[in-house]
């Protein structure tokens, strides 16, 4: 955006952009014609473009996490399960201080999920079978029917909330608490 013209930043899907998921950015004192949306070339987001091929130390423990949707549950809204249950998860996910954990996120739904872990950073190890290293995050989008694998060091004692960053998913079951032993 270093050229003094009018830019439209917005959602790629026309219906979403036309419903308000876009904004016009106009440089001051530069008269331009009416803004026009120009769709970018097709592409898929790929975290692994930012990674490398360094090896990963073996984890102390692997924690499988399976995410499923219960369509139209009470009161007519989709509900979300983590390992077959809605929140809360009593003592199901427990870290030991200093332990190295590999979390395997298995998305068994047709929705992509931006998964967030409070108070911890994790390293992306694999996305849909494609290995990577060096990408540190606290949120990763797991594609519909996809899988992401992350490693983390348990270095923040206390309760840590894990959830989907889509508010309605979180409100209807898609979250868990990680505890320390």
The pLDDT-based confidence of 45 (bands split at 50, 70, 90) is: confident
The mean pLDDT of the chain is 92
> Is residue 61 domain-shared with residue 20, that is, in the same domain?
no
The pLDDT-based confidence of 12 (bands split at 50, 70, 90) is: confident
Q: Is residue 12 part of a domain?
A: yes
> Is residue 132 domain-shared with residue 57, that is, in the same domain?
yes
> Is residue 33 domain-shared with residue 57, that is, in the same domain?
no
Q: What's the sign of the alpha-carbon dihedral 83, 169, 125, 46?
A: positive
> Is residue 144 domain-shared with residue 115, that is, in the same domain?
yes
- Per-residue pLDDT at 108 exceeds 70: yes
> Is residue 24 domain-shared with residue 91, that is, in the same domain?
no
- Is 164 buried (19+), middle (13-18) or exposed (0-12) by CB count in 10 A? buried
The pLDDT-based confidence of 67 (bands split at 50, 70, 90) is: very high
> Is residue 22 domain-shared with residue 101, that is, in the same domain?
no
The pLDDT-based confidence of 1 (bands split at 50, 70, 90) is: low
> Is residue 20 domain-shared with residue 105, that is, in the same domain?
no
The pLDDT assigned to 165 comes to: 95
> Is residue 80 domain-shared with residue 18, that is, in the same domain?
no
Place of tokens 């849909």: 128
Q: Is residue 116 part of a domain?
A: yes
Is 25 or 29 the better-scoring residue by pLDDT? Answer: 25
> Is residue 158 domain-shared with residue 87, that is, in the same domain?
yes
The whole-angstrom separation of Cα 172 and Cα 149 is: 24
> Is residue 34 domain-shared with residue 58, that is, in the same domain?
no
How is residue 39 written in tokens?
A: 């769709």
> Is residue 118 domain-shared with residue 163, that is, in the same domain?
yes
pLDDT tens string 126-150: 999 999 999 999 999 999 999 999 9
Q: Which domain holds residue 139?
A: 48-180
> Is residue 99 domain-shared with residue 161, that is, in the same domain?
yes
Domains of the chain: total: 2
Local structure of 17: helix, strand or coil: helix
The pLDDT-based confidence of 170 (bands split at 50, 70, 90) is: very high
Q: Is residue 32 part of a domain?
A: yes
Q: Is residue 62 part of a domain?
A: yes
């Amino acid at each position: 955006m270093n050229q003094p013209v009018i830019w439209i930043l917005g959602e790629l899907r026309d219906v979403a952009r036309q419903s308000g998921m876009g904004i016009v950015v106009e440089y001051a004192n530069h008269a331009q014609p009416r803004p026009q949306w120009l769709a970018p070339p097709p592409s898929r987001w790929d975290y692994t473009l930012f990674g490398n091929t360094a090896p990963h130390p073996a984890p102390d423990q692997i924690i499988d996490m399976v995410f499923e949707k219960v369509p139209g549950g009470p009161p007519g809204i989709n509900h979300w399960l983590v390992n077959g249950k809605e929140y809360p998860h009593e003592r199901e996910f427990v870290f030991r201080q200093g332990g190295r954990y590999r979390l395997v996120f298995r998305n068994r739904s047709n929705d992509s999920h931006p998964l967030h872990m409070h108070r911890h950073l994790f390293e992306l190890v694999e996305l849909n079978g494609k290995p990577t290293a060096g990408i540190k995050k606290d949120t990763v989008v797991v594609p519909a029917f996809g899988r992401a694998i992350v490693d983390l060091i348990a270095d923040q004692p206390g309760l840590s909330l894990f959830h989907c960053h889509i508010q309605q998913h979180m409100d209807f079951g898609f979250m868990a608490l990680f505890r320390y032993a």
